[in-house]
Amino acid sequence: MSAQLAWIREEDPFAMAQDEFLQLVEYLRQGEGRDLSHEELEVALSERGRELQRLLFQAQVDSRGSGPAAEPVCGADGVLRKVERLHERGLLTVFGEVRIRRLGYGTTGVVSFHPLDAELNLPVEAYSLGVRRVVAEQAAQVSFDATGESVEKQTGTVVGKRQIEELAQRATADFDAFYAQRTPVAGTPDRSILAISADGKGVVMLPRDLREPTRIAAQSASNKLTKRLAKGEKKNRKRMATVAAVYSVAPYVRTPHQIARSMAPIFEAVPPRPPVEHKRVWASLQQTPEEVIGEAFCEALRRDPKKQKTWVALVDGNATQLKILESLAHEHQVSLTIVMDVMHVTEYLWKASVAFTEEASEEREKWVAERLLNVLLGKASLVAAGMRRSATLRGLSEKEREPVETTAKYLLNHKDYLCYDEYLAAGLPIATGVIEGACRHLVCDRMDGAARWSLAGAEAVLCLRALRSSHDLDAYWRFHVAQEYQRNYVAQYANGDVVPVKGRSRTELRVVR
C-alpha cells in the first residue's frame, strides 16, 4: 500500500470500499469477469459483493469515530464510570466480520459502558442481530446442522451447532411479551365467530428433559435388546407439547345432509367455505396445558374484550382440555360453546362398524353414513343405544362387542358437545382441521425425526415456527430488537438514560406495531 493511499484511507473511511468497488468494476469490464457464464457471474458477484458490503459496513462504523460520551457515564448501580479507555471488539455480520474500536467508561470492579455500542445497539454476543435472524429463520425450518451450512453459505459467517441453538433461544426471548403487548386485531365484521382449539403432540426428548413421572418410568424400564428398541420399549421417551390456535371465521350454515354427503339430495349444493382470518397458532413443551389454553383465552379476550362475538372451542374429547376450557370460561364469564370434532366421532363410528359389517364393503360405508347422519341430526344418544342393542341381538362376544362399547361410551360421555344440528344451524365450525394442521406443521414436520431434543432448544424452535405460521415474524423481530436495546442498554444506565455519543442525539428504538 502506498503512503498516499494509506493517508487517503485514514482520512476517508470509505476509501477501501471505494477501491474494492472500482476493482470489481474493472474485473467485470476488462478482467476475467468478461468471459464468465451467467452462473459463474452470479457466484463471483455474490462473493465479491459480500466483501464490498463488509467494507462499506466497516467504513460506516469507522466514520462514527470512537464514540466519546456526551456527558458523565453512570450505571443503574449508581457507580460513576470515570476511567476512559479505547476498547476493540469484533462483530460477525451477514457480510463477514468487522472490528469496532470505541471508548469504554469504567472503574475498578464494574463493567465498562460504551456509548457507541448503545448507538449501534450491538448485541452482547459476537453475532449480529442480522445473523441471529438468519439463524432463527433457518432453524425454524431445518436441523441445526443444516442451519449452520445455510448460514455460512448465505453470509460467509461460521456458526457452530451449539451457538445456533443458543441464538435460536435468544431470538425467542420476547415471544410471550410480544403477544401480551400487541394491539388487538379488529377483524372483519362478518367474522363473528371466535374459535379456540387445542391439542397435544409428543416430542422425543433427552432423558433429563422429560417430565418427572415419564423420566422415572424411563429409568426403571430395561431394554431387551442392545442394538434397537423392542416392541413396547418406545414408551416414556416423549414429552407432550400443547398446541393452541385462535382465529376468526364467518358463520357457515349447513345441513346435516350436506355433511353426510352420501345421504344428501343430488340438488342440494354446499355453499363455499369462508376462510379463517387472523389465525394465530403456537405450541409449548415447557408450559402446562392450563397455561397454554389460558393464553388462548387471553388472546381471544384481547381480540374481543367486550365478548360480543360467538366463542367456540373445538376439541377431540380430551378430558383434561375439556375441564380446563370449562373452568376458564367460568373464570372469564364467557359464553363458550364446546364442539366435539366431527372427524373424531366419525373415526369411532368406523371402528364400531367392523362388529356389524365386512371391513372392506359398501355395507360398512352405508352403516357409518347412516349413523353419522343421525349424530349430525342431534341423536347421538339414540345411535349409542341402537348399536348396543344391535350387538346384543346379534349375540356378539365380549371381544367382538368391544369397539361398539367404546364408541357408545364416547358418544354418551360427550353428548353435551355433540349437538351438531344446533351448531350447523348457527354456522359454527365442527371440525378441528386448523389445530390438526398446526400440530402437523409446528411439531411433526420439524420434530418427528430420530433426534432427541433438549427442552430449551425444542421450545425455541416451536416459538419460531409459530411466528412464521402466524405471519408475525417481521413484527416480532422489530419488537425483539427494541427489547434487546432495553435489556442491554436502557436497563444498565442510571434512571434508564443512555448516555449518547458526543455531538449526537439520544438513541431511541421505537416499536413499530
Mean pLDDT of 442-460: 92
* Rounded-to-integer distance, Cα 340 and Cα 334, Å: 18
* Rounded-to-integer distance, Cα 139 and Cα 133, Å: 10
Mean pLDDT of 38-47: 92
> Which residue pairs from 40-48 have beta carbons closer than 8 angstroms and sit at least 24 positions apart in sequence?
48/20, 48/24
**Whole-model pTM?**
0.88
pLDDT tens by residue, 192-248: 999 999 999 999 999 999 988 888 887 776 666 655 665 655 678 899 999 999 999
- The mean of the pLDDT values for the chain is 91
Closest by CA position to 337, among listed 425, 260, 466, 210: 425
* Rounded-to-integer distance, Cα 202 and Cα 211, Å: 12
- The residue behind cell 406495531 is 513
Mean pLDDT of 364-368: 93
Let me know the angle formed at the C-alpha of 198 by 192 and 201, rounded to the nearest 5 degrees. Answer: 150
Quick one: DSSP state of residue 444?
I
106 phi-psi bin (left φ>0, alpha ψ -120 to 50, beta other): beta
Closest by CA position to 128, among listed 108, 149, 98, 101: 98
CB-based contacts of 32: which residues, under 8 Å, 6+ apart?
none
* Rounded-to-integer distance, Cα 94 and Cα 155, Å: 5
Mean pLDDT of 386-401: 95
Let me know the angle formed at the C-alpha of 102 by 101 and 104, rounded to the nearest 5 degrees. Answer: 135
> CB–CB of 500/114 below 8 Å?
no
* Rounded-to-integer distance, Cα 49 and Cα 167, Å: 26
* Rounded-to-integer distance, Cα 414 and Cα 350, Å: 17
pLDDT tens by residue, 300-333: 999 999 999 999 999 999 999 999 999 999 999 9
pLDDT in the model for residue 1: 44
Q: What are phi and psi of 205, to 5 degrees?
A: -115, 160
CA distances from 253 to 103, 250, 307, 359 (A): 68, 10, 22, 34
CB-based contacts of 319: which residues, under 8 Å, 6+ apart?
none
pLDDT in the model for residue 235: 76
* Rounded-to-integer distance, Cα 381 and Cα 368, Å: 15
